[in-house]
Structure 1
Amino acid sequence: MKKLITVIFTLCFMTSVQATEVAVLDFRAALLQSNIGQEAAKEPKQKVAAMDARLKSEQESLEADANNLKRDELTLSEEEFKKRRAQLAENQNKIRNMAANMQRQAKELEQQLIQSLTPKGEAALKLLIEERKLDLVLNRQLSLYASGASDITDELVERINKDN
């Protein structure tokens, strides 16, 4: 009798428990690693590289001015030294502002890129979810642990490449 009750309980329990298919995904990385993401990122990358080159040039100029001021310190009048030091400080502030501005612009370019690619990525993800019969997809950065088998980022990249 005990065995029969145990078997019935086990059968009832097994039918009430459903397996939940869970996967993790780095959606941003999948978009940027896909062929369309790589192609779309070319222009923003060029803009960022041009901004970096300009910033580097300004920093080198500032460094040269600082070295010149240090070299000429003993030969300049106190008034001229203070004037050049103030100009140097002003240029340093301009470069700091330029760097902050460039970082902001680079972030905006990346956000625009992600926004433009998101509809295609979401469509590919929807198909992947249906194919794998997933019940839940989590952002990889938010999960404490996920096995490599549960990460579908590479599969999404392949799907985006295939569909576009």
Structure 2
Amino acid sequence: MKKIITAIFTLCFIGSVQATEVAVIDFRAALLESKIGQEAAKEPKQKVAEMDARLKKEQEELESSAKDLKRDELTLSPDEFKKRRQALAEHDNKVRAMAANMQRQAKALEQQLIKSLTPQGEAALKSLIEERKLDLVLNRQLSLYANADADLTDELVKRINKDN
């Protein structure tokens, strides 16, 4: 009797199992690696490089001022040393704020870029889903493990390039 129940359960279970086609994709990377992404990223990359150059210049000036203060520490009056140390601290705060602001601006530029490229990427992804008859597509960063065959990021890049 136990064998009959097990056999019936097994047959029911086998009948209810369906193959599910699953893929993982790094959508952001696919957009940025595509030809249209590379072309669209030129101007934001240039802006970020300019911001980075300004930040490096400010950091070098800050380091130079700190070295000058350390060098002159023994020859300065206590009041003059205190003023210069306070000015150095203010300059340091300014540089830190500048760095944080530049990071926000760079992130905003990337978000704008991704937003502008998303419609082309979604269209390419939709055609890839239909062609491959995928039941589920996950963001690669959300998956704990995915077989290399399940990662279709490179194929999505090729599809975006082909479609645009």
Q: State the alpha-carbon separation in 1 of the partners of residues 36 and 84 from structure 2.
A: 50
Deviation at 1:15, TM superposition (A): 4.8
- Structure 1 segments unaligned to the other structure (5+ residues): none
**Other-structure match for 1:63:** 63
- Percent identical residues: 78
Q: How does 1:30-69 map to 2 (within 5 A)?
A: 30-69=30-69
**Other-structure match for 2:152:** 152
TM-score when normalising by structure 1: 0.92
Q: Summarize deviations over 1:57-94 as a string: whole Å, max 9, x none.
A: 00000100110111111111111111111000000000
**Other-structure match for 1:130:** 130
- Read off the aligned partner of 1:111 and give its amino acid letter: Q
- Read off the aligned partner of 1:67 and give its amino acid letter: K
Deviation at 1:16, TM superposition (A): 3.6
Q: State the alpha-carbon separation in 2 of the partners of residues 145 and 112 from structure 1.
A: 30
- Read off the aligned partner of 1:149 and give its amino acid letter: D
Q: State the alpha-carbon separation in 2 of the partners of residues 74 and 17 from structure 1.
A: 81
TM-score when normalising by structure 2: 0.92
Q: State the alpha-carbon separation in 2 of the partners of residues 63 and 20 from structure 1.
A: 59
Deviation at 1:17, TM superposition (A): 2.6
- Read off the aligned partner of 2:160 and give its amino acid letter: I
Q: State the alpha-carbon separation in 1 of the partners of residues 45 and 137 from structure 2.
A: 30
Q: State the alpha-carbon separation in 1 of the partners of residues 50 and 103 from structure 2.
A: 13
Runs of 4+ in 1 over 6 A off after TM superposition: none
Deviation at 1:155, TM superposition (A): 0.4
Q: How does 1:94-113 map to 2 (within 5 A)?
A: 94-113=94-113
Deviation at 1:32, TM superposition (A): 0.4
- Read off the aligned partner of 2:133 and give its amino acid letter: K
**Other-structure match for 2:79:** 79
Higher mean displacement: 15-24 or 40-49: 15-24
Higher mean displacement: 72-81 or 49-58: 72-81
Secondary structure of 1:23's counterpart equals strand
Tell me the C-alpha RMSD between the 2 structures. 1.8
Q: State the alpha-carbon separation in 2 of the partners of residues 128 and 48 from structure 1.
A: 33
Q: State the alpha-carbon separation in 1 of the partners of residues 36 and 102 from structure 2.
A: 25
Deviation at 1:13, TM superposition (A): 5.6
Secondary structure of 2:24's counterpart equals strand
Q: Summarize deviations over 1:88-107 as a string: whole Å, max 9, x none.
A: 00000000000000000000
